[in-house]
Amino acid sequence: MSRPALTVLTEEETMFRDAIRSFVRDRIGPRVSAMDEAAQVDADLIPALHEMGLMGIEIPEEYGGAGSSIFNAIQAIEAIAEVDPSISVLVDVQNTLVNNALVRWANEEQKQRYLPKMATEWVGSYALSEPASGSDAFALRTRAEKKGDNWVINGSKMWITNGGESSLFIVFANTDFSKGYRGITAFIVERGFEGFTVGKKEDKLGIRASSTTELIFEDCVVPEANVLGEIGKGYKISIETLNEGRIGIGAQMLGLAQGAFDYAMRYILERKQFGQTIASFQGVQFQYARLAMDIEAARLMVYNAARLKDAGLPFIKEAAMAKLFASEVAERTASMCIELCGGVGFTKEYPVEKFYRDAKIGKIYEGTSNMQLQTIAKLLARIYG
């Protein structure tokens, strides 16, 4: 379906976006329903995502990545979410959280060891949340103790995206509780490390093909060489990485809204009632015109945040706004698209109800809507204070 591009893209960016959309339509589209029902990613897709270069977009070319920008990363996330938000978040977490943290904070030896694998074969997870530590991330209780040349981690993590598929986990643990959040340290944990287990997989409302798991650490042995950044600087790594991650979630929600809208528009332009198409009724026209406006506004906010990040300019407020607004637009759009499609929209035979289920998580993960509002308010107070 051809759509007007109101947001200016370069020729290279347009070609990249179109290539991703073609890949998504041909390789992901036919599998979406089965993956949702099975609550599992089709294993054949992961090598395909690597072959397309979608799992290492911002990884420098010297380490086997594309050496591209966050703007291209969020274009990929958006395009995939137009068809399946579950695969979109797999690519999102890989790029904006895991790879981002490694590129920025890993030492040269770590980059040489891990980045080529992330670009070509491995999936990664970002392990911050715990059973009693969600929005209050720094209340985490997972501990790491130094023993000889290793660190030994004990504790558990919850709600970890990609947990079922990942080979590498960026894990946050406290090395000195007397220092509070300043004791938090980031570690690179491989799936096969002694004492590490991927636990229960959650049975979720939406993005069901995206695995969300528990991680269990029982005297997990992590080499000293796998400390990411400095001891006690994990809080800084987590905050700064999540700031970029929120742009990715904004892109996921943007793509979701666009995908639901595209399907609903095709339907109401064909479906007739009372001798005319549903789309020709003025009341319906007002509804889909407003949805289109909201989607374009979300796109401008998400793209702006990504452009600021690529330019090395302050972007935290804009990222929070983009994530907050895009998640609201996604839920509102998906809900209205079900109504536009009527009974068909409410059935699992058609994709709109899945977009609606998938949309709900946008207001929750990588910072709830209230946390985004708090971030925005704090930054505004600094500007006007």
Over its C-alpha atoms, the chain yields an Rg (Å, rounded) of 21
**Measuring CA to CA, which residue among 204, 296, 263, 327 is closest to residue 82?**
263
Task: Please state, in angstroms and rounded to a whole number, the distance separating the CA atoms of residues 35 and 33.
Answer: 5
Q: Which CATH entry fits the domain spanning 236-384: 3.30.70.20, 3.30.470.10, 1.20.140.10, 3.40.640.10? A: 1.20.140.10
Alpha-carbon gap, residue 363 to 221, rounded angstroms: 35
**CA 146, CA 160: separation in Å to the nearest integer?**
25
In whole angstroms, give the CA distance from residue 50 to residue 23: 12
27 pLDDT above the threshold of 80: yes
Question: Please, which residues have CB within 8 angstroms of residue 148's CB and are 6 or more apart in sequence?
Answer: none
Q: Is the pLDDT of residue 2 over 80?
A: no
| Tens of pLDDT, residues 140-190 | 999 999 999 999 999 999 999 999 999 999 999 999 999 999 999 999 999
For residue 160, list its beta bridge partners: 213
Could you tell me which residues are beta bridge partners of residue 130? 133
CATH of region 11-123: 1.10.540.10
Q: What pLDDT digit, counting tens, does each position of 73-128 carry?
A: 999 999 999 999 999 999 999 999 999 999 999 999 999 999 999 999 999 999 99
According to CATH, where is 1.20.140.10 located in the chain?
236-384
CA-to-CA distance for 181 and 335, rounded, in angstroms? 40
- Candidate list 78, 331, 353, 366, residue with the active-site label: 366
Fold of 125-233: Butyryl-CoA Dehydrogenase, subunit A; domain 2 (2.40.110)
Distance CA 135, CA 358 (A): 21
State yes or no: pLDDT of 5 exceeds 70. no
| 244 is an active site residue | no
The residue among 322, 323, 329 whose CA lies nearest residue 291 is 329
**Which residues are 220's β-sheet partners?**
153
pLDDT tens per residue, range 265-311: 999 999 999 999 999 999 999 999 999 999 999 999 999 999 999 99
State the pTM of this model: 0.96
Residues 134, 208, 28, 267, CA torsion sign? negative
- DSSP label at 278? G
Phi/psi for 173 (5° steps) reads: -140, 155
Ranges in the chain annotated CATH 2.40.110.10: 125-233
Whats the size of the chain, residue-wise?
A: 385
Which amino acid belongs to residue 365? Y
All CATH 1.10.540.10 domain ranges of the chain, comma separated, are 11-123
